[in-house]
Amino acid sequence: MAAGKRAGSRRGAKRRPGFQPRLALLALGITALVVAWGYLVYAAIDFGATARGGESAAWWFLGLASVGAVACLFAGLMLVARLLRALGITSPPPPREDQPDRPDRPATPGGRRAAR
């Protein structure tokens, strides 16, 4: 084994994963949205059967339940993406090259010399 001031392990101590309330809230939100989505889909099917039976007001409820189901599914998928990012499974996208480094100030045509 080598001795010297740089002869140690190159890796730090592993962090023990502990309880993280943010991740628990994300998981709880995802669960609630998936349950709400399932209920709204079931309600939309029921309203659709009622509407085909001749009740005209059921068409409005069918539309509202369908839009609500789409919104719940979309929000649930967004929370899944946040959860995966927080767990480190996915990474943020790389910055685009066509965007300037400082978006608060528009790029001057001609570069720095022309701006003088």
Show the tokens assigned to 11: 């890796």
Q: How confident is the model at residue 71 (pLDDT cuts 50, 70, 90)?
A: very high
Residue 105, judged by CB atoms within 10 A of its CB (0-12, 13-18, 19+), counts as exposed
Say if residue 115's pLDDT is above 80: no
Is residue 9 in some structural domain? no
Q: Which residue has the higher pLDDT, 67 or 116?
A: 67
Is residue 55 in some structural domain? yes
- Residues 10-25 have a mean pLDDT of 80
Is residue 17 in some structural domain? no
In a 3-state reduction of DSSP, which class is residue 31?
helix
Q: Which residue has the higher pLDDT, 36 or 3?
A: 36
pLDDT given at position 96? 78
pLDDT given at position 111? 67
Q: Which residue has the higher pLDDT, 12 or 75?
A: 75
Is residue 69 in some structural domain? yes
Is residue 67 in some structural domain? yes
- Measured CA to CA, the distance from residue 93 to residue 78 in angstroms comes to 15
Backbone angles phi, psi at 29, to 5 degrees: -65, -40
Number of domains the chain is built from:
1
Is residue 56 in some structural domain? yes
Domain residues for the domain of 56 are: 37-87
Encode pLDDT of 4-17 as tens digits: 666 666 677 777 77
